[in-house]
A and B are shown apart, each in its own frame.
Chain A
Amino acid sequence: MALIVSDVTCDYASGTSMASRALESVTFSLEPGRLAVVLGPTGSGKTTLLRVASGLLPLVAGSVEVDGAPVLGPGSVRGQVGLVFQRPESQFFALSVEDDCAFGPRNLGRTHAEARDDARGALAAVGLDPDMFGPREPWSLSGGEARRAALAGVLAMRPRYLLLDEPTAGLDADGRRAVAAVIRDACRDTGVLVVTHDPEVFLDVADEVLVLRDGRTMFEGDVPGLLAALPALSRAGVVEPPEVPRTLLLAAERGLLADCELTLDPEVAAAALASALEGRERAR
């Protein structure tokens, strides 16, 4: 049981004067219960990957499979793959948050009552009290609340795979925290794929990392593997390391720190830097 993207190649804006290759032979798989993070510079194909995985883009080569069934268009993954775009709160259209959240389940064939229950359940799951927030107009919500309500709209469909494009972009500290918590919770029985420019929030708990550049896979593996590959990836300008490993890398580059194991943990990093400094002191 997995969402499998096999050797996929796909074009952007094909047929127009701005056509370009968006993905080149990318392979990736996502299982329920796992959290995967996709990194890469703007234009690296991260968003395209999400669209391909939800059947929204035609492929030039390769295939996409969800739980053994081939994906042939958005209809074939309806209900199994939930895709949340950037700034999803701009897609509200109903007069109440509850109605908007119920849109997805209704499209899946649930009755009004069932859809309402799904919506209320999803709102509760994202930390928005259905009685308080359900009747409100979607546009009256604050940034973080709106973002979570939009997420609820997709979670209400109970997808087995959840794909998110920059879910914490543009939110303040509280909003980011709240959304990150919702996503981490969702991992319990869903396969979650997060495309992000701010990996700090997710790398601590990620099971897998995929790094793309210019549509190609630059790295695929777990977080320790990413840390090991980080010096090379950072030098090649493919990945911007989070600040803690970046500090260690910079210190190593300047010859101030012997090559050490990179880490995301501030305490471990502090210890490494401290012993390097003490070593220097003693050498004097």
Chain B
Amino acid sequence: MKRITGIGQYIAVDSPLHRLDAAAKLGLVTAYTVALFLVTGFPGLVAMAAAVAIATRVANVPPRAVARGLRAVGLLMVFTLLANSLRWQPAEALLRLGPLAVDGEGLRAGVFFAIRIMLLVTGTSLLTLTTSPIQLAGGIERGLAPLKLLRVPIGDLAMTLTIALRFIPTTAEEAERIITAQQARGASFDTGGPIARARAYTPVLVPLFFQLFRRADALATAMEARCYRGSEGRTRLREERMGPSDWVTMLGIGAALIGVGWWL
């Protein structure tokens, strides 16, 4: 029986990065991404890597937590490296492996792109490590606020997101309960090939989805009973707002990153 404490990688410590407003951090991640794609040479990548290293230090999080995100993209990095550096029977080559060959230029490009992927992932993981899912949802809502002018229902999307976050631990517990109950009736989830195993989950997924739909219905009724009419006209108990220091930090560092990216 596991108690799920929320999703993802958020590490709750104190640091200047943790205290920085979520929307400002989103802005910084955007600037960093732009800078990363403006960079044209290895010196630029080194500068971005330095930025990530400094940020990790400032964020008071262990480097290994930042590196953990790389597991997901390891395969992609290898693929990028190979796709760029291998050529079919080229004229010139550094190394030949039968009809394939490693091309000097291609290798350089492959390494560049692979490192860029790595820096992209580590940089953005700093965002999720220092921002709780709830703060992140709030930041996204504020960041996307200008889209309201285009009639995009940002407020409703944000409400959907926060409700989803609120129900992740509850749903996980529900799933665990159902799995255990079906196990008690003799169901087995770890025998047979992949197809058999997938089918074995039907007695778990059906009741779970049924419960989720039923709950959504009941929740909607309860929200209506508390006068929910959509996100127009709603106020908030705690209004997270960007303060002057948040603006300065975001614009200052953002500009610096883009400047370096452009120059290098």
Whether both chains belong to one complex is answered with yes
> Taking beta carbons and an 8 Å cutoff, which residues of A are in contact with B?
12-13, 16-18, 51, 54, 56-57, 74-75, 78-79, 82-85, 88, 90-94, 103-104, 107-108, 139, 153-154, 157
Check A91–B2 contact: CB distance below 8 A.
no
Offer 13 A-B interface pairs, CB within 8 angstroms, sorted by A: A16-B3, A56-B180, A74-B183, A79-B186, A85-B177, A85-B184, A90-B178, A91-B178, A91-B181, A91-B203, A92-B210, A93-B203, A153-B185
When the two chains form the complex, which single residue of B177, B187, B202 contacts A107, counting CB atoms closer than 8 Å?
A: B187
- Residue in chain B with minimal CB distance to A86: B177
Whether A75 contacts B185 in the complex (CB less than 8 A), given A13-B3, A18-B3, A91-B178, comes out as no
How far does the alpha carbon of A74 sit from the alpha carbon of B183 in the complex, in Å?
A: 7
How far does the alpha carbon of A226 sit from the alpha carbon of B5 in the complex, in Å?
A: 40
B202 cross-chain contacts in A, Cβ below 8 A: 93
How far does the alpha carbon of A228 sit from the alpha carbon of B142 in the complex, in Å?
A: 65
Shortest Cβ-Cβ A-B pairs, 7 listed = A107-B186, A93-B206, A83-B184, A104-B185, A93-B203, A91-B181, A18-B3
Check B5–A157 contact: CB distance below 8 A.
no
B186 cross-chain contacts in A, Cβ below 8 A: 78-79, 103-104, 107-108, 157
Check B1–A12 contact: CB distance below 8 A.
yes
Question: In the complex, what's the smallest C-beta–C-beta distance from A123 to chain B, in angstroms?
Answer: 15
Check A88–B2 contact: CB distance below 8 A.
no
A154 cross-chain contacts in B, Cβ below 8 A: 184-185
Contacts A74-B184, A91-B177 known; 15 new A-B pairs at CB < 8 A? A12-B1, A13-B1, A13-B3, A18-B3, A18-B5, A51-B1, A56-B184, A90-B211, A91-B178, A93-B203, A94-B203, A103-B187, A103-B203, A107-B187, A107-B188
Check B207–A157 contact: CB distance below 8 A.
no
How far does the alpha carbon of A88 sit from the alpha carbon of B181 in the complex, in Å?
A: 8
A16 cross-chain contacts in B, Cβ below 8 A: 2-3, 5
- Residue in chain B with minimal CB distance to A47: B1
Give residues 116-174 of B contacting A (CB, 8 Å).
Answer: 174
Check A90–B207 contact: CB distance below 8 A.
yes
Question: In the complex, what's the smallest C-beta–C-beta distance from A12 to chain B, in angstroms?
Answer: 6
When the two chains form the complex, which single residue of A82, A83, A91 contacts B207, counting CB atoms closer than 8 Å?
A: A91
B182 cross-chain contacts in A, Cβ below 8 A: 91, 93, 103
How far does the alpha carbon of A235 sit from the alpha carbon of B160 in the complex, in Å?
A: 49
How far does the alpha carbon of A84 sit from the alpha carbon of B2 in the complex, in Å?
A: 20
- Residue in chain B with minimal CB distance to A54: B184
Q: Using an 8 Å CB-CB cutoff, how does the interface string of B87-115 with A read, 1 for contact, 0 for none?
A: 00000000000000000000000000000
- Residue in chain B with minimal CB distance to A87: B177
How far does the alpha carbon of A197 sit from the alpha carbon of B3 in the complex, in Å?
A: 23
Check B5–A17 contact: CB distance below 8 A.
yes
Check B185–A85 contact: CB distance below 8 A.
no
Question: In the complex, what's the smallest C-beta–C-beta distance from B136 to chain A, in angstroms?
Answer: 21
Question: In the complex, what's the smallest C-beta–C-beta distance from B101 to chain A, in angstroms?
Answer: 49
A108 cross-chain contacts in B, Cβ below 8 A: 186
Question: In the complex, what's the smallest C-beta–C-beta distance from B220 to chain A, in angstroms?
Answer: 19
How far does the alpha carbon of A17 sit from the alpha carbon of B180 in the complex, in Å?
A: 22
How far does the alpha carbon of A158 sit from the alpha carbon of B111 in the complex, in Å?
A: 64
Q: Using an 8 Å CB-CB cutoff, how does the interface string of B181-211 with A read, 1 for contact, 0 for none?
A: 1111111100000000000001110110011
Check B207–A85 contact: CB distance below 8 A.
no
B185 cross-chain contacts in A, Cβ below 8 A: 103-104, 107, 153-154, 157
Question: In the complex, what's the smallest C-beta–C-beta distance from B127 to chain A, in angstroms?
Answer: 23
- Residue in chain B with minimal CB distance to A106: B186
Question: In the complex, what's the smallest C-beta–C-beta distance from A151 to chain B, in angstroms?
Answer: 12
- Residue in chain A with minimal CB distance to B205: A93
A90 cross-chain contacts in B, Cβ below 8 A: 174, 177-178, 207, 211
A78 cross-chain contacts in B, Cβ below 8 A: 186
A103 cross-chain contacts in B, Cβ below 8 A: 182, 185-187, 203
- Residue in chain B with minimal CB distance to A17: B5
How far does the alpha carbon of A51 sit from the alpha carbon of B177 in the complex, in Å?
A: 11
